[in-house]
Amino acid sequence: MKTISKMRPGNVTPFVLEGRWTLDGLDQRTMRWLSKIAKREHLTVADVIYEVLESFVAKCEAEAELEKKIIKFRRC
């Protein structure tokens, strides 16, 4: 995702989705992509965002757990 510039163009209106997600930082391409997935899966855009975040958190947790499971051997 691109960084959000401090100055917004005049045609960008900040808005919040379901009281949680500020979407004025997402570009039009990303919003269309989220909308396309939502329509295909018969979900809302907010549900798609929730699912993406949940899968990202699960991936991060799995990677953290993996480091705990690595057995380190002494070098002789």
Question: Would you state the pLDDT for residue 36?
Answer: 95
pLDDT in tens, 24-46: 677 778 888 989 999 999 998 88
Question: Would you state the pLDDT for residue 11?
Answer: 64
State the Cα torsion 51-58-2-29 to the nearest 10°.
Answer: -30
Distance CA(58)–CA(66), nearest Å, equals: 12
Q: Is the pLDDT of residue 65 over 90?
A: no
Q: What average pLDDT does range 5-27 have in this prediction?
A: 69
pTM score: 0.60
Question: Would you state the pLDDT for residue 27?
Answer: 75
